[in-house]
Amino acid sequence: MPYIKTRDGTDLYVKDWGEGRPVVLIHGWPLSADSWDAQALALANAGFRAIAYDRRGFGRSGQPWNGYDYDTLSDDLADVLEQTGATSDATIVGFSMGGGEVARYMSRHAGKGLVAAGLIGSVVPYLSKADDNPNGAPPEVFEGMLAGIAADRPGFFAGFLKTFFGIGGTGPQVGPETVQWAWNIAMQAGLRGTLECVKSLGHTDFRGDLPAFGVPTLIVHGTADDIVPIDLSGRVAARGIGQAQLVEYDGAPHGFTVTERDRFTKDLLTFLGR
């Protein structure tokens, strides 16, 4: 089943590896399901069923004009769960932007069929500056991203991915080939979805979704994340989710699922084994 069709008729590309308890992996912006390959392979080899899909507008999925808000994206997740048969004993794990789908699925779909969840370098609960979120990112941060993508998307992502992987920082380093691999994935996405998802991940407030988390939730975040700072996201989410387990990777950048691949994969398997 390489594709499923959502309730609004959008085709979503799905990878479905292994057999066992289902673990659905939701990728970050601006990547695709391929960014989860290392973890998906490890999960399948460990006796889990790893399901990863390309968000609408990204990778090999359809590129509709609309539907990049989190209500629709969480409906897409619900459709993936339903059409792959991952409707019981499932875990959903979202990286970066993908954490938003996890949070909104919990509230909008009442966490149907889930036994656990993961927020990995996640944008949850709220990134934008507001009167009740004074440390959030000001509007010009997201406006600058939109302008940079519109003016020179290849150039924008070349710079963005260096920050994403912490190139030149004190943490583990990846080579230029890894940066090129991520750039190639990012450039598969449609321009409309790429832009609209910046607005959604930057401005959606998930604080009201946190009480809906009724399952054990693994939260992993790098302390040197310059894309989604831990003090705006991981630490706040951990305080707002009743059964949260927060794991901090000291000195790790946003893309620690790659730079700290073996450690993170082990931590994820350990959590799932519980």
Q: What residues are annotated to the active site?
A: 96, 225, 254
Cα separation values, 37 from 43, 50, 53, 62, 99, Å: 10, 9, 11, 21, 18
Residue 271: CB atoms within 10 A of its CB come to 18
Encoded tokens for 52:
């990863």
Encoded tokens for 203:
């401005």
Structural contact between residues 123 and 203, judged by C-beta atoms closer than 8 angstroms: no
Encoded tokens for 41:
């392979």
CA–CA distance, 242 with 17 (Å, rounded to integer): 31
Structural contact between residues 42 and 270, judged by C-beta atoms closer than 8 angstroms: no
Structural contact between residues 105 and 122, judged by C-beta atoms closer than 8 angstroms: no
